[in-house]
Chains A and B, each alone.
Chain A
Amino acid sequence: MSNPLSVRLLLFLLGSIGLITLPHAWHIPPLLFGFFMLMLIWRLLGIWQPKYLPNRIGVFVLMLSGIGLLYTQQHAVFGRDAGTGLFVVALGLKLLEIHGKRDVYVIVYLAFIVAATQFLYEESILMALYILLVCGVLLATLITQNSQAPQTLAALKTSATIILQSLPLALVLFVLFPRLEAPRWSWLDDENHAKSGLSNTLEPGAIAELSLSPELVFRVKFDGDLPPPSQLYWRGPVYANTDGVRWKAPPDLGRENNPDQPVFEGQAYDYTLMMEPQRQRWVFALDMSTQFPTGLRRNGLYQLITNKNPGDRAEYRISSSPAYNTGDISKTERRESLQLPDKPSEKTLELVKQLQGNQTKPEAFIGNLLQYFRQENFHYTLSPEPMPDRPIETFLFERRAGFCSHYATAFVYLLRVAEIPARVVGGYQGGQLNHLGGFLEIRQANAHAWAEAWLEGRGWVRFDPTAAIAPERVEQGVNVDLQIASGAVNFSRVQLDAETLSWLQRSRQLWQSIDYNWQRWIINYDTVNQRAFLQSLGIDNFVKLGYCLLASIGLIGGLLAWRLLRPGRRRSDPALRLYRQFCRKLSKAGIDIAVGDGPNTLAERAKSLRPDLAEQIERITAIFVRLRYESLAQANDLQALKTLIAGLRV
C-alpha cells in the first residue's frame, strides 16, 4: 500500500511460513497440503513476476476452492485435524494478498498458531527445537519489517537474542502458572488415530511373523532395586474365553467377581510408571499391584484400569508385590476358566491322560506338561508357519514351533481339558534397562503371553510355558536392538558388529534418557505434578503462588533490565583516539607534544618544523577541533579525519 515491502522481507516471510508448515505434511491430507504449497510457490514466484499474482476475483475463487477442499477432506468442523487444516488453508490464502505491514502481522500471527498445532501431533524434543528455530525466523521477519537497516544475519541475531532473553521467564511461567485440568470435550477429539498395542483378542495360529516393533509402550523407574528379570511380568489383558482358534478378553473390564482380596507377602516394589498413549485402558503394572493412585482401579482380573482417556501420556506411582495369594475362586470364574469350545479330540485326551499318569494333583500335571514341552521336540521361533485349522492341535502334534502365544494357549487348553481352571494372560515381559536414566523401557517387542492356573490354597499362579522351552526369553529378556540388528526381524539390512552396536546402544540410551526426562518434566507436567512440585517449594495456595509469580517476574525483569540497559562502557572518544594516532605519528617525526600544548599550538610548531606537511597538519587539526570542541560537527568529519591521519606519511 503505502510502502512496498522489500524482497528480503517477503523472502523471510515466505521462508518461515514454509518451514512452519512443513511438518504438517505428515498430518494433514495431502490435497490440503498441496493446496497450501501451491499458494506458497505462487506467491514466491510473484515476488519477481507480480503480474501473475491472482487479482481480487482470483483470490475469491481460490478461497472458495480452499473451503471446498476443506469440506471434502475433513469431515468435521471442530477438532484438531479440522482446525489445523483450516489454519493452514487460511495461511496459504492470506499469502496471496500481502500488501502492507498489516498483512505481514496477520500472517506471522497465523503462523504462530500453526506452530502451536504442530504440538498437537508431536511433542518430541526435536519438534520443540524445530518450532523454536522457526519462531526465531518469524521474529526476524518482524524485525526486518520494523527496521530499515539490518541485514538478514543481524535480524536473525537480534531475534535469537530476544528469544534467549525470554526463555528463563517462559520457563518460570511454565512451572508456576496455575494449570487447570481441562474437561475433555468429545467434539474436539478426532477418531481413527489407532495406536498399536495389545488387543482384546489373541489368535496365535493366524500370526505368521511376530512383529518386533521397537515402539515404546511404557517406562518404569524403580525407587530401589530392580526385581529379577524372571519377575518382570507386566499384566495386561486376560484372555479367558476361547472358540478354539481365537482367545478373547472378557468385554467387561469393571467386574468384581473375586470373593477374596489377595494377600500379599514379601517384598513390595515402588515405582513410577509412565504410559505412552494407548488405545486400551490397561495400565501394565507389575504383577501384582498393591497400591496405586486414585485415578486407577484394580478389577477382578487383577488388571489395573484407568478411567481417564488412555490416549494421553500419563504417569502413575504404583507398588507391586510379586508374591501373592488370590484366595478362593467364584463359581462363575471357575466355569469361565474351564470353558472349552467343543469336545477335545481323542489325541488330546490321550495326551492329557498320559500327562496325568496316576496322579490327580494339578501341580503334578502342570509339572509333567512343562516337562513334556521341554523334552519333546518343541522349538521357540518368532516366525512360525500359520496354523489356521485347529491351531492348538496342529501346534502340539505337528509343527511344535511357535512363540509365547502358542505355548500359552496350548498350555491353558490342556489344563482345561484336565479340569484345572486356567487362563491366558497377556502383557509385557522384561524391559531394557537404560543405564543412564536408571529406568526400564518396555517396547512392543516385549509383548508376551503366559498362563495362569488356579490351584487350591494358592489362588491364581503364574506359569510361563515359554520359559520351559526358551528360558532365555524370560531370564534375559528380549534385547530389541540385538534382535533387530541380528536380522531376526528385517528392520534394516545393515549388519552391525558388536562394538558399533554397543556404541549405538549407548548413544541411544543417552537419547532415551533425555527423552524420558523431557516427557516426565515437560510434556507430562500436569496439575498433579505441579501441585507436588510447588508443595515441595512450600507453595500451597494461590496467594503464595501469585506472590511467587510476581516476584520471579520482577526478579528476571530486573536482571534483564540491568543487563540490557546499564550504560554500556563508553568507548573512548573516537576523535581523540584518532588524534592520539596522529600525535604518535608526529612524535615519530620528532615532534613531541609538550605539557599544556593545545591542538593548535602543536599544529603551529609542527608546521614550522615540517613545512612540507603543513597543509595536512592544518586540515587534521581543523577537523579535530571541530569534532571535539564545536557542537555542530559534520556527519562525515570522523571518516575524513580517519582518512587524513591514515594518509599522513612522516
Chain B
Amino acid sequence: MSETALSLTQRFKLSRFIRGEAPAAGPVTLNQRRVFILPTRRGLFFVLLILLLLLIGFVYNNNLAYLLGFLLASIFFVTILHSFKSLAGLVVQPGRQQAVFAGQAGPFNFQIANPSSQPRFALALALQTELSLSLAAEQSQTVTLYQVTQRRGWQLPDTLTISSAYPLGLFRAWAPLRFDSPLLVYPKPASQLLPFPESDGGQGKQGQNRRNGDEFYGLRAYQQGDAIRQIHWKAFAKGQGVHSKQYSGASTSELWLDFQSAPGHQLEERLSQLCRWVVDAEQAGLRYGLILPSQRLPPNNGAGHYRQCLQALALF
C-alpha cells in the first residue's frame, strides 16, 4: 500500500510517537515511518554498566576490560537494529468488529501477519487490554483486544500499540497505529425493569403487557426463529423432541416500542429504555416493532431484526 508522504511538521509532531498517525482503513505495514525505538530503563542501566567497565579498564590500564566494554557498547548499538527488525515488515489490519452495549468492553479484532521468513518473538499488542504473542514465519493471527465503551454510536479503536523488547530488552520498539474500523455500540439497556408499553403504534392491536406472559398457552414444535428461552427444556430432556413454549398473545399480538411513549425525560434515558425493551422482547420471543421519530421498523423478531433495531437506537 502506498503511503502518503508526510510533511516535515507532520513528521515531527509529538502525537505521531504516542498516538500514531491518522486512522488507516486498510492494512498497515510497519516500516521505519511507523516504528519508534527508545532504550528501556534496563537499557539505560546497561549504559551505566558499559561506563563502569570502561572505568575499570581505565583505572587498571586493562585493555581487555576496555575491549569488553566496547563489545557491550557495540552490542547495545547493534540491538537497535535488531529491535527494529523485531517489528519491521509486520502487516496489521483491522478485522470485523462485533457490536456491544455501551459500558461493556468492546472487542476489537486485528489481524497481524508476518510475511517474512523470520519468526517474531514476544510481540505485545495493547489497546486497553494487552496481549503477548509470537508469530512463526509467514504466519498470521487474529487477536481480539478490548476497550471500554461509554457512549452509543460508532466507536473507533484507540491507538493500538505493537511493541517488542526482543532480543535483549535493552530497547523497546513500538508502533502506534490507529485504524478506521469502528465498533457499533448500542445504548446501555436500562437497568430498571419496566412493563412493555400499552400503547400501540397506531395499528390498533393490543400489545403484550408483561414480559413473560403468565398465561401459558401450549407447546408447539420448534420453529426456526423461536427464542432459546422458549424451548421447553424439560420435554427435551425427557427425549420428547424440541418444543417451544407458547404464551398467550405471543404469537398473535405485536408489540410496538415507541420512542414517544418511552419513559424518561432525556433522549438517552428513553433510548436506554427502548433498548432494554428490545432485548427483553427478543429474549421473550415476541414480535416487536420500533418507532423512532425518524424511522419505523415493522414488527418482527429474530437475530437480524434484533440487530437492526439496536443499530437504529445506537445511531439515533
Chain A interfacial positions (CB closer than 8 Å to B): 80, 101, 105, 109, 112-113, 115-117, 119-120, 123, 127-128, 131-132, 135, 139, 142-143, 145-150, 158-159, 162-163, 165-171, 173-174, 177, 180-182, 185, 188, 312, 522-526, 553, 557, 560-561, 564-565, 567-568, 570-571, 574, 631-633, 635, 638
Contacts and interface: CB of A to CB of B under 8 A. Distances in A.
Contacts of A116: 53, 56-57, 62, 64-65, 68-69
B89 to A, nearest CB: 7
B74 interface: yes
A549 to B, nearest CB: 11
A135 B117 CA distance: 28
Contact of A149 (B70, B71, B134): B134
A180 B60 CA distance: 11
Contact of B119 (A149, A163, A523): A149
B122 A147 contact: yes
Contacts of A168: 74
What interface size band does chain B fall in? 35 or more
Contacts, number: 167
Contacts of A177: 66, 70
A142 B166 CA distance: 9
Interface in B31-66: 42, 45-46, 49, 52-53, 56-66
Contact of A105 (B45, B77, B140): B45
A561 B81 contact: yes
Contact of A188 (B46, B60, B167): B60
B88 interface: yes
A139 B68 CA distance: 13
Contacts of B85: 564-565
Nearest to A521: B63
B130 interface: no
A571 B138 contact: yes
B290 interface: no
B141 interface: yes
B68 A167 contact: no
B76 to A, nearest CB: 9
Give the secondary structure class of A's interface.
helix
22 contacts: A112-B49, A112-B53, A113-B49, A113-B56, A115-B68, A116-B64, A119-B65, A120-B56, A123-B63, A128-B67, A147-B166, A162-B78, A166-B75, A173-B70, A173-B74, A177-B70, A312-B61, A561-B81, A564-B85, A632-B96, A632-B111, A638-B138
Given A148-B121, A635-B142, A522 B70 contact: no
Top 6 nearest A-B pairs (CB, nearest first) are A147-B121, A119-B64, A166-B74, A169-B74, A173-B70, A170-B74
Contact of B116 (A146, A568, A633): A568
Contacts of B58: 180, 182
A295 to B, nearest CB: 14
Contacts of B49: 109, 112-113
A159 B62 CA distance: 25
A131 B95 CA distance: 50
Nearest to A176: B70
A185 B59 CA distance: 8
Contacts of B128: none
Contact of B167 (A112, A142, A522, A574): A142
B81 A565 contact: yes
Nearest to A173: B70
B82 A120 contact: no
Contacts of A568: 116-118
